[in-house]
Amino acid sequence: MTLRNIFFSFIFVSLNALGQVKYIDYPSPFHPTIGNSGMVVSQNQASSDIGIEILNMGGNAIDAAVAVGFSLATTLPRAGNLGGGGFMLVYLSNEKKTIAVDFRSAAPKNLSNNDFLFLKNNYDQRRYGYKASGVPGTVAGLLQTHDRYGKLPLKKILQPVIKQAQRGIQVSYDLSQAIGSADQINLDSESKSIYYQNGSPAKEHILMKRPDLAWTFSEIARNGEEAFYTGSIAKKILQAMKINGGYISEKDLKEYKPRFAEPIQTTYRNYKILAHPPPAGGAAVLLEGLNILENFSTDEIGPNSASFLHLFAEALQRGHMDRSRYMGDPQFYDVPIEQIISKKRASSLAKTINFHEATSPDELSPDSIFQEDENTTHYSIIDKYGNVVSNTYTLGYSFGSGVTIPGTGILLDNQMNNFAYQHGNPEVIDRSASIGNRFEPGKRPMSTMTPIIIFDENNELKLITGSPGGSLIPAAVLRVVTGIIDFNLNLGEATMLPRLHKDWPYKSLSLEKGFSKDTLKILESYGHELEQSKTMGSTQSILISAKGKEGFADLRRPNAGVAIQID
């Protein structure tokens, strides 16, 4: 071969290799899904797809949110629900307005002092069975929001959801494992008949049809909210309550109302963060944590550096401290939310942080302001017009109380377990003694659910996110937010940062796998008591960037998925 041929062969091979490198290499191993129209991100791909089906019918984000919320009762029964409650933020693009919707489950109103003492002294009775359930708010919350802001008729929205329940779903590995780990299902004959086969949890890959849920969806499609709270479904709920000694009454169902309010908010490095007001206590933790972190520069440190993780943990600990005492239902307790999320409060708390030493919980007191199970789920939706829904809802425990109302497919929550039954006990200082969350009939328990919407310095929509995870929710959401704002990560990178959680008044700092040993040693040298954790949360997020709308479904829990609308 001549020198000339060798030269051109080298150039060809080099250019070919270069072309391949450009084709196969990406900036990050975590790839958001990019679209330019509507997008749905939820904890189950099949439910996300139904959301897009609604958008393709001409529906808006609110229409899609109703369909996704109902669909998840079929696809993700441990958390998706009609028998629980939650919190939702709705952004109306034309009006440049955000509305907070509280559809949290509420304590039955007719409970006596003896009932309270029974629940206080019988831990399992307020976790499992009919006595554990609060008045469900999901149906009222979704449908009244749809009445106000939706476009399509309810019957049309629910048709794909009804068909999905009739045809059934393939049981995933995740669902099979979840059924096997929820002991309370064994305590209820109706639940066991649905989720067990031949005495064992439903196996992976089998078809699980849900004619019971299809009936319930059909009744709601015909008669709306009335079917659930006063009509055919209500009658089945009340009959089951009577037979099994539950507390929910005809009056409780008839009088349940979701609450529509303004969000609470703060700014963080010129971004505006909107979150749900009390009793969504996790929102307060997030906003207070951001306010504290804003007192420190992050320009010279990385998202996984010991310096930033230390500040993150210290800020989070202080946020949980204030949540522990003064967060509750504002219709029963005057929550000092403006003080908790004020810049003044954050500045004062920031001054108590030592850069190289972990703060003992004994050195912190929530009184200075005056001188939750993990099986929740979240979904984020945006339509082509820019309307947004950020919704987090829950049954409490995985599969809630374990109770399914016969003939309906409706699993009920176990939110009666979420009140502070140790209030008044001077020996208890944690959340179980919270003055703001003490039990009262008709009250809605404090929650760590934290749906948020973020706008940039030009008041343009930036981020929609939220997570399941009980007390871990604020940490999961805070990690995503700081990853994007402080460290300019893409949505996938910010989502997949290893997470950490620091509560109060506990000493341990919980961490997912993924941090370097050197970093862990430094954190230990600061005095943190490290504890390895399983995965924390499952954020379902949409980011508005120069590329368009980026969606990312957290990889921490299987079967989540992004669905996009193709115009």
Q: What angle do CA 179, 68, 213 make, to 5 degrees?
A: 55
Listed range (121-130, 357-366, 458-467) with the worst mean pLDDT: 357-366
Listed range (19-28, 52-61, 208-217, 498-507) with the worst mean pLDDT: 19-28
Measured in degrees and rounded to the nearest 5, phi and psi for residue 141 equal -60, -50
**Does 446 have pLDDT greater than 90?**
yes
User: pLDDT tier at 12 (50, 70, 90 boundaries)?
Assistant: very low
Count of other CB atoms within 10 angstroms of residue 265 = 18
Listed range (285-289, 362-366, 388-392) with the worst mean pLDDT: 362-366
pLDDT recorded at residue 303 = 97
**Which DSSP letter does residue 331 get?**
T
Same domain, 460 and 546: yes
User: pLDDT tier at 27 (50, 70, 90 boundaries)?
Assistant: confident
Rounded to an integer, what distance in angstroms lies between the CA atom of residue 417 and that of residue 270?
39
Same domain, 190 and 293: no
In a domain, 296, yes or no: yes
**Does 536 have pLDDT greater than 60?**
yes
Residues 6+ away with beta carbon under 8 Å from 100: 87, 88, 89, 260, 261, 262, 263, 276, 277
Alpha carbon 442 to chain centroid, angstroms: 23
**Does 406 have pLDDT greater than 70?**
yes
* Token pair of 200 as six digits: 């064992």
Looking at the chain, the whole-number percentage of residues with pLDDT higher than 90 is: 83
Rounded to an integer, what distance in angstroms lies between the CA atom of residue 374 and that of residue 522?
29
**Does 59 have pLDDT greater than 90?**
yes
Average pLDDT over residues 399-418: 96
| DSSP per-residue letters across 477-488 | HHHHHHHHHTT-
pLDDT recorded at residue 433 = 78
Count of other CB atoms within 10 angstroms of residue 558 = 15
Mean pLDDT estimate for the chain: 92
Same domain, 175 and 320: no
What is the phi-psi region of residue 50: left when phi exceeds 0, alpha when psi lies from -120 to 50, beta otherwise? Answer: alpha
Give the bridge partners for 383, in sequence order: none
pLDDT recorded at residue 372 = 53
Each residue's pLDDT tens digit, 241-259: 999 999 999 999 999 999 9
In a domain, 478, yes or no: yes
**Does 17 have pLDDT greater than 90?**
no
pLDDT recorded at residue 364 = 79
pLDDT recorded at residue 7 = 44
**Does 370 have pLDDT greater than 70?**
no
Same domain, 252 and 275: no
Rounded to an integer, what distance in angstroms lies between the CA atom of residue 48 and that of residue 379?
9
**Does 6 have pLDDT greater than 50?**
no
- Which CATH number does the domain housing residue 508 bear? 3.60.20.40
In a domain, 333, yes or no: yes
User: pLDDT tier at 392 (50, 70, 90 boundaries)?
Assistant: very high
Average pLDDT over residues 320-326: 86
Amino acid at position 401, single letter: S
Give the bridge partners for 333, in sequence order: none
In a domain, 65, yes or no: yes
Same domain, 284 and 199: no
Catalytic (active-site) positions: 376
| Token pair 């009509």: residue | 231
User: pLDDT tier at 371 (50, 70, 90 boundaries)?
Assistant: very low
Half-sphere exposure of 48 (CA within 13 A, CB side): 27
User: pLDDT tier at 537 (50, 70, 90 boundaries)?
Assistant: very high
Alpha carbon 395 to chain centroid, angstroms: 11
Same domain, 244 and 286: no
CA dihedral 299, 304, 309, 315 (to 10 degrees): 60
pLDDT recorded at residue 567 = 78
**Does 13 have pLDDT greater than 60?**
no
Half-sphere exposure of 143 (CA within 13 A, CB side): 23
Same domain, 520 and 530: yes
Nearest to 128 by CA among 199, 192, 190, 183: 183
Same domain, 52 and 154: yes
The residue count of the chain comes to 567
pLDDT recorded at residue 10 = 47
Q: Which domain holds residue 517?
A: 261-374+447-564
Whether residue 279 is preceded by a cis peptide bond, meaning omega within 30 degrees of 0, is yes
Same domain, 335 and 458: yes
Nearest to 480 by CA among 560, 536, 523, 557: 536
| DSSP per-residue letters across 25-67 | --S-SS--EEESS-EEEES-HHHHHHHHHHHHTT--HHHHHHH
In a domain, 440, yes or no: no
Same domain, 122 and 213: yes
Task: Quote the number of domains for the chain.
Answer: 2
Same domain, 250 and 316: no
Same domain, 54 and 136: yes
Q: What angle do CA 467, 472, 475 make, to 5 degrees?
A: 80
